[in-house]
Structure 1
Amino acid sequence: MAFPRPMADLLQEGVAIAGLAGRLRDVEIWRHWPEVVGPVVASRSQPLRIINGTLTVVVSSGPWMQELSFLKGVMKEKLNERLGAEVVREIVLRSGKVAVAEPAPVEEPPRRKPLTPQEEEFIAKQSTAIEDPETREAFAALMRASFESGTEKRQ
Protein backbone atom coordinates (compact mmCIF):
# COMPACT_ATOMS: atom_id res chain seq x y z
CA MET A 1 0.00 0.00 0.00
CA ALA A 2 1.56 3.26 -1.12
CA PHE A 3 -0.53 5.66 0.92
CA PRO A 4 -2.52 5.37 4.13
CA ARG A 5 -6.23 4.96 3.45
CA PRO A 6 -9.01 6.74 5.34
CA MET A 7 -10.51 4.68 8.16
CA ALA A 8 -14.01 5.16 6.74
CA ASP A 9 -12.97 3.48 3.49
CA LEU A 10 -11.42 0.55 5.35
CA LEU A 11 -14.53 0.07 7.47
CA GLN A 12 -16.81 0.24 4.46
CA GLU A 13 -14.67 -2.34 2.67
CA GLY A 14 -14.68 -4.61 5.73
CA VAL A 15 -18.46 -4.42 6.05
CA ALA A 16 -18.86 -5.26 2.37
CA ILE A 17 -16.48 -8.23 2.61
CA ALA A 18 -18.27 -9.58 5.67
CA GLY A 19 -21.65 -9.22 3.96
CA LEU A 20 -23.02 -6.99 6.70
CA ALA A 21 -24.17 -4.06 4.57
CA GLY A 22 -27.72 -5.41 4.25
CA ARG A 23 -27.97 -6.16 7.96
CA LEU A 24 -26.75 -2.68 8.87
CA ARG A 25 -29.46 -1.20 6.66
CA ASP A 26 -32.02 -3.44 8.40
CA VAL A 27 -30.99 -2.04 11.78
CA GLU A 28 -31.92 1.44 10.59
CA ILE A 29 -35.57 0.37 10.95
CA TRP A 30 -35.34 0.72 14.75
CA ARG A 31 -33.85 4.19 14.46
CA HIS A 32 -36.47 5.43 12.00
CA TRP A 33 -39.51 3.70 13.53
CA PRO A 34 -40.73 6.59 15.75
CA GLU A 35 -40.31 9.10 12.91
CA VAL A 36 -42.12 6.93 10.38
CA VAL A 37 -45.13 5.87 12.48
CA GLY A 38 -45.34 8.91 14.77
CA PRO A 39 -45.04 9.15 18.55
CA VAL A 40 -48.50 7.77 19.40
CA VAL A 41 -48.14 4.61 17.32
CA ALA A 42 -44.49 4.23 18.40
CA SER A 43 -45.62 4.22 22.04
CA ARG A 44 -47.92 1.28 21.27
CA SER A 45 -45.70 -0.71 18.91
CA GLN A 46 -42.09 -1.51 18.15
CA PRO A 47 -40.15 -3.56 15.63
CA LEU A 48 -39.09 -6.93 17.00
CA ARG A 49 -37.06 -8.48 14.16
CA ILE A 50 -36.65 -8.56 10.41
CA ILE A 51 -35.90 -11.79 8.60
CA ASN A 52 -35.78 -12.05 4.80
CA GLY A 53 -37.77 -8.84 4.38
CA THR A 54 -40.48 -9.77 6.89
CA LEU A 55 -40.66 -7.24 9.69
CA THR A 56 -42.31 -8.49 12.88
CA VAL A 57 -43.81 -5.69 14.96
CA VAL A 58 -44.96 -6.11 18.57
CA VAL A 59 -48.22 -4.31 19.33
CA SER A 60 -49.46 -3.53 22.85
CA SER A 61 -53.15 -4.49 22.49
CA GLY A 62 -55.81 -6.02 20.25
CA PRO A 63 -57.44 -2.73 19.28
CA TRP A 64 -54.07 -1.27 18.32
CA MET A 65 -53.25 -4.41 16.35
CA GLN A 66 -56.49 -4.03 14.40
CA GLU A 67 -55.77 -0.35 13.76
CA LEU A 68 -52.21 -1.06 12.59
CA SER A 69 -53.35 -3.89 10.34
CA PHE A 70 -55.04 -1.21 8.21
CA LEU A 71 -51.81 0.82 8.15
CA LYS A 72 -49.34 -1.95 7.27
CA GLY A 73 -49.04 -0.89 3.64
CA VAL A 74 -48.41 2.75 4.52
CA MET A 75 -45.87 1.82 7.21
CA LYS A 76 -44.02 -0.48 4.80
CA GLU A 77 -43.96 2.18 2.11
CA LYS A 78 -42.69 4.89 4.47
CA LEU A 79 -40.01 2.65 5.99
CA ASN A 80 -38.69 1.61 2.60
CA GLU A 81 -38.72 5.21 1.42
CA ARG A 82 -36.72 6.26 4.48
CA LEU A 83 -34.27 3.36 4.04
CA GLY A 84 -33.80 4.05 0.33
CA ALA A 85 -34.47 0.45 -0.73
CA GLU A 86 -37.12 -2.25 -0.47
CA VAL A 87 -35.92 -3.65 2.84
CA VAL A 88 -39.39 -4.44 4.25
CA ARG A 89 -41.51 -6.63 1.99
CA GLU A 90 -44.08 -7.66 4.57
CA ILE A 91 -45.14 -6.59 8.07
CA VAL A 92 -46.41 -9.15 10.56
CA LEU A 93 -48.11 -7.87 13.72
CA ARG A 94 -47.76 -9.76 16.98
CA SER A 95 -49.35 -9.05 20.34
CA GLY A 96 -46.90 -8.49 23.15
CA LYS A 97 -45.38 -6.13 25.64
CA VAL A 98 -44.03 -2.90 24.20
CA ALA A 99 -41.07 -1.48 26.08
CA VAL A 100 -41.82 2.10 27.04
CA ALA A 101 -38.87 4.46 26.88
CA GLU A 102 -38.05 6.03 30.21
CA PRO A 103 -38.63 9.76 30.19
CA ALA A 104 -35.49 11.81 30.57
CA PRO A 105 -34.99 13.07 34.11
CA VAL A 106 -35.99 16.68 34.53
CA GLU A 107 -33.15 18.76 35.85
CA GLU A 108 -34.01 21.14 38.62
CA PRO A 109 -33.13 24.71 37.77
CA PRO A 110 -30.27 26.01 39.89
CA ARG A 111 -31.39 27.72 43.03
CA ARG A 112 -31.04 31.45 43.02
CA LYS A 113 -29.29 33.06 45.98
CA PRO A 114 -30.61 36.43 47.10
CA LEU A 115 -28.17 39.25 46.54
CA THR A 116 -26.62 41.00 49.50
CA PRO A 117 -26.72 44.80 49.72
CA GLN A 118 -22.96 44.80 49.03
CA GLU A 119 -23.48 42.85 45.80
CA GLU A 120 -26.27 45.20 44.68
CA GLU A 121 -23.98 48.16 45.40
CA PHE A 122 -21.10 46.51 43.50
CA ILE A 123 -23.35 45.90 40.47
CA ALA A 124 -24.62 49.49 40.53
CA LYS A 125 -21.07 50.85 40.77
CA GLN A 126 -19.83 48.68 37.87
CA SER A 127 -22.75 49.49 35.58
CA THR A 128 -22.83 53.29 36.11
CA ALA A 129 -19.88 53.75 33.74
CA ILE A 130 -21.98 52.42 30.83
CA GLU A 131 -23.65 55.33 29.03
CA ASP A 132 -26.28 53.52 26.96
CA PRO A 133 -29.28 52.75 29.28
CA GLU A 134 -30.24 49.52 27.45
CA THR A 135 -26.69 48.17 27.57
CA ARG A 136 -26.30 49.27 31.20
CA GLU A 137 -29.50 47.40 32.19
CA ALA A 138 -28.45 44.26 30.27
CA PHE A 139 -25.02 44.34 31.94
CA ALA A 140 -26.58 44.74 35.41
CA ALA A 141 -29.04 41.87 34.75
CA LEU A 142 -26.17 39.64 33.64
CA MET A 143 -24.17 40.45 36.77
CA ARG A 144 -27.23 39.82 38.99
CA ALA A 145 -27.79 36.43 37.33
CA SER A 146 -24.13 35.58 37.78
CA PHE A 147 -24.20 36.45 41.49
CA GLU A 148 -27.53 34.64 42.02
CA SER A 149 -26.29 31.44 40.41
CA GLY A 150 -23.10 31.48 42.43
CA THR A 151 -20.78 31.56 39.41
CA GLU A 152 -19.42 34.97 40.41
CA LYS A 153 -17.24 35.29 43.49
CA ARG A 154 -19.11 36.93 46.28
CA GLN A 155 -17.64 40.18 47.56
Structure 2
Amino acid sequence: MKERMKLPEAALEHLFYIEVTLHKEEYKVGDVGRGDLVICPISGGRFEGEKLRGQVLDFGADWNLMYPSYLNCVDTRYLLKTDDGALISLSTVGRAAIKPEQDAAMERGEYVDPDDYYFRQHLLFETGDPRYQWLNAACCFAVIGIKDMQTIVYDAYMVK
Protein backbone atom coordinates (compact mmCIF):
# COMPACT_ATOMS: atom_id res chain seq x y z
CA MET A 1 0.00 0.00 0.00
CA LYS A 2 1.18 3.50 -0.73
CA GLU A 3 1.75 5.99 2.04
CA ARG A 4 -1.46 6.70 3.92
CA MET A 5 -2.94 10.15 3.59
CA LYS A 6 -3.35 11.95 6.92
CA LEU A 7 -7.03 12.55 7.61
CA PRO A 8 -8.69 14.68 10.28
CA GLU A 9 -9.65 12.96 13.51
CA ALA A 10 -13.37 12.27 13.89
CA ALA A 11 -15.06 14.09 16.75
CA LEU A 12 -18.65 14.30 17.92
CA GLU A 13 -20.79 17.33 18.61
CA HIS A 14 -23.97 16.86 20.62
CA LEU A 15 -26.86 18.42 18.66
CA PHE A 16 -29.85 17.87 20.93
CA TYR A 17 -31.83 15.63 23.24
CA ILE A 18 -35.28 14.74 21.91
CA GLU A 19 -38.41 13.10 23.28
CA VAL A 20 -40.82 11.86 20.63
CA THR A 21 -44.34 10.85 21.61
CA LEU A 22 -46.19 8.22 19.61
CA HIS A 23 -49.94 7.91 19.23
CA LYS A 24 -51.31 4.98 21.23
CA GLU A 25 -52.70 3.36 18.09
CA GLU A 26 -50.24 1.51 15.89
CA TYR A 27 -50.90 -0.08 12.52
CA LYS A 28 -49.88 -3.73 12.17
CA VAL A 29 -49.46 -4.25 8.44
CA GLY A 30 -48.30 -7.84 9.02
CA ASP A 31 -45.68 -10.09 7.45
CA VAL A 32 -44.39 -8.35 4.34
CA GLY A 33 -42.01 -11.16 3.38
CA ARG A 34 -39.00 -9.89 5.31
CA GLY A 35 -40.65 -9.48 8.70
CA ASP A 36 -43.64 -7.89 10.39
CA LEU A 37 -44.26 -4.25 9.51
CA VAL A 38 -45.70 -2.04 12.25
CA ILE A 39 -46.29 1.68 11.70
CA CYS A 40 -46.41 3.97 14.75
CA PRO A 41 -47.67 7.53 14.07
CA ILE A 42 -45.92 10.43 15.82
CA SER A 43 -48.07 12.72 17.98
CA GLY A 44 -45.44 15.29 18.97
CA GLY A 45 -42.49 15.93 21.20
CA ARG A 46 -39.72 18.36 22.06
CA PHE A 47 -35.99 18.71 21.32
CA GLU A 48 -33.36 20.90 22.97
CA GLY A 49 -29.72 21.54 22.24
CA GLU A 50 -27.17 24.32 22.19
CA LYS A 51 -27.70 25.22 18.50
CA LEU A 52 -31.35 24.28 17.99
CA ARG A 53 -34.48 23.61 19.99
CA GLY A 54 -38.17 23.30 19.31
CA GLN A 55 -41.04 20.91 18.90
CA VAL A 56 -41.75 17.70 17.02
CA LEU A 57 -44.95 18.29 15.09
CA ASP A 58 -47.90 15.86 15.02
CA PHE A 59 -46.75 14.57 11.66
CA GLY A 60 -44.84 11.49 10.51
CA ALA A 61 -44.37 7.98 11.82
CA ASP A 62 -41.97 5.18 12.67
CA TRP A 63 -41.99 2.28 10.19
CA ASN A 64 -40.71 -0.75 12.11
CA LEU A 65 -39.76 -3.92 10.25
CA MET A 66 -39.48 -6.60 12.92
CA TYR A 67 -37.55 -9.72 12.03
CA PRO A 68 -38.23 -13.02 13.86
CA SER A 69 -34.76 -12.70 15.44
CA TYR A 70 -35.91 -9.51 17.23
CA LEU A 71 -33.81 -7.31 15.02
CA ASN A 72 -35.94 -4.24 14.37
CA CYS A 73 -35.17 -2.08 11.32
CA VAL A 74 -36.59 1.38 11.91
CA ASP A 75 -37.28 4.04 9.29
CA THR A 76 -38.88 7.28 10.46
CA ARG A 77 -39.99 10.66 9.19
CA TYR A 78 -40.36 13.59 11.56
CA LEU A 79 -41.17 17.25 11.03
CA LEU A 80 -39.35 19.54 13.44
CA LYS A 81 -40.21 23.19 14.07
CA THR A 82 -37.54 25.22 15.82
CA ASP A 83 -38.47 27.80 18.45
CA ASP A 84 -37.45 30.49 15.94
CA GLY A 85 -39.85 29.15 13.28
CA ALA A 86 -37.70 27.00 10.96
CA LEU A 87 -39.12 23.76 9.57
CA ILE A 88 -36.70 20.84 9.38
CA SER A 89 -37.46 17.44 7.89
CA LEU A 90 -35.78 14.57 9.75
CA SER A 91 -35.51 11.10 8.22
CA THR A 92 -33.88 8.27 10.12
CA VAL A 93 -32.73 4.74 9.36
CA GLY A 94 -31.58 2.52 12.16
CA ARG A 95 -31.43 -0.75 14.00
CA ALA A 96 -32.70 -1.93 17.34
CA ALA A 97 -31.63 -5.25 18.84
CA ILE A 98 -33.94 -5.94 21.77
CA LYS A 99 -34.21 -9.39 23.37
CA PRO A 100 -37.65 -11.02 23.63
CA GLU A 101 -37.67 -10.76 27.43
CA GLN A 102 -36.79 -7.05 27.23
CA ASP A 103 -39.55 -6.44 24.70
CA ALA A 104 -42.04 -8.28 26.92
CA ALA A 105 -40.98 -6.20 29.94
CA MET A 106 -41.49 -2.98 27.96
CA GLU A 107 -44.92 -4.18 26.83
CA ARG A 108 -45.80 -4.67 30.53
CA GLY A 109 -44.77 -1.07 31.22
CA GLU A 110 -41.48 -1.93 32.90
CA TYR A 111 -38.36 0.20 32.40
CA VAL A 112 -35.49 -1.48 30.53
CA ASP A 113 -32.12 0.26 30.78
CA PRO A 114 -30.91 1.45 27.32
CA ASP A 115 -27.42 0.19 28.25
CA ASP A 116 -28.90 -3.32 28.02
CA TYR A 117 -30.06 -3.14 24.38
CA TYR A 118 -28.76 -1.65 21.14
CA PHE A 119 -30.77 1.09 19.38
CA ARG A 120 -28.98 3.46 16.98
CA GLN A 121 -30.06 5.51 13.96
CA HIS A 122 -28.56 7.51 11.14
CA LEU A 123 -30.16 10.98 10.89
CA LEU A 124 -30.73 12.94 7.68
CA PHE A 125 -31.83 16.57 8.04
CA GLU A 126 -33.30 18.68 5.25
CA THR A 127 -34.30 22.33 5.48
CA GLY A 128 -34.52 25.39 3.26
CA ASP A 129 -34.05 27.77 6.18
CA PRO A 130 -30.65 29.47 5.75
CA ARG A 131 -30.02 29.48 9.51
CA TYR A 132 -30.02 25.67 9.61
CA GLN A 133 -28.81 24.63 6.16
CA TRP A 134 -25.55 23.46 7.75
CA LEU A 135 -27.61 20.43 8.86
CA ASN A 136 -28.24 19.44 5.21
CA ALA A 137 -24.57 18.44 4.83
CA ALA A 138 -24.08 16.95 8.29
CA CYS A 139 -23.37 13.28 9.01
CA CYS A 140 -25.45 12.60 12.14
CA PHE A 141 -26.55 9.68 14.28
CA ALA A 142 -28.51 9.02 17.47
CA VAL A 143 -28.23 6.83 20.53
CA ILE A 144 -31.79 5.89 21.46
CA GLY A 145 -33.78 4.72 24.46
CA ILE A 146 -37.36 3.66 24.95
CA LYS A 147 -38.73 5.63 27.90
CA ASP A 148 -42.10 3.89 27.68
CA MET A 149 -44.16 2.38 24.87
CA GLN A 150 -45.31 5.84 23.72
CA THR A 151 -42.05 7.78 24.25
CA ILE A 152 -38.80 7.40 22.32
CA VAL A 153 -35.84 9.50 23.48
CA TYR A 154 -32.42 10.05 22.03
CA ASP A 155 -29.28 12.09 21.94
CA ALA A 156 -28.46 13.33 18.42
CA TYR A 157 -24.82 13.83 17.41
CA MET A 158 -23.01 15.30 14.42
CA VAL A 159 -19.70 13.80 13.31
CA LYS A 160 -17.19 16.63 12.88
Query: If the length of structure 2 is used for normalisation, what is the TM-score?
Result: 0.23
Higher strand share goes to which structure?
2
Query: If the length of structure 1 is used for normalisation, what is the TM-score?
Result: 0.23
